[in-house]
Amino acid sequence: MPDGANLRTTRLNRNAIITAIKCGRPGREMPAFDRLAYSDGRCNNLKLADLQSKGLDLTEPAATLQPREIEQVTDFLFAKVIGKGPMNHATCVEFWGSDVEARKEFPQ
């Protein structure tokens, strides 16, 4: 998996996060999780042909999400990640559990 944006320090608001999840980031590795994202202009008034004419690829998601699911993911991110400051050992264990390798990156 590619490294994504650091959402712990992002200044994006709720609508911008929803748009990023729904529409992805064409030309980057963030997929659009809305199944119809570039079919009817709902994402930045662009269609798939517009992206292709600009040479922008769109990564395929492993699965798509319904609008209510995108909102739930966004609400989770604001509750647990966005604006919560840098990751440390305690937040790593709280988020991922104590059995993951990543916790070793953060001294106690």
**Intervals of the chain under pLDDT 70:** 1-3
The per-residue pLDDT for 2 is 54
Selection from 79, 62, 61 nearest residue 17 by Cα:
79
Residue 34 counted as domain residue: yes
| Contact of 21 with 73, CB cutoff 8 Å | yes
Residue 19 CB contacts under 8 Å (≥ 6 apart), including other chains: 43
9 within some domain? no
Tally of domains within the chain: 1
pTM of the model: 0.83
Q: Is 37 domain-assigned?
A: yes
**What local confidence, expressed as pLDDT, does residue 4 receive?**
78
Is the Cα torsion angle 43, 44, 45, 46 positive or negative in sign?
negative
Q: At what angle do helices 14-23 and 67-80 cross, to 10 degrees?
A: 130
Does residue 65 form part of some domain?
A: yes
Nearest CA-CA partner of 58 in 79, 36, 77: 36
Residue 107 lies in a domain: no
| Assigned domain for 2 exists | no
Does the residue 29 lie in any domain?
yes
Say if 51 falls within a structural domain: yes
Is 7:73 a contact under the CB 8 Å cutoff? no
Expressed as residue numbers, the domain containing 64 is 14-83
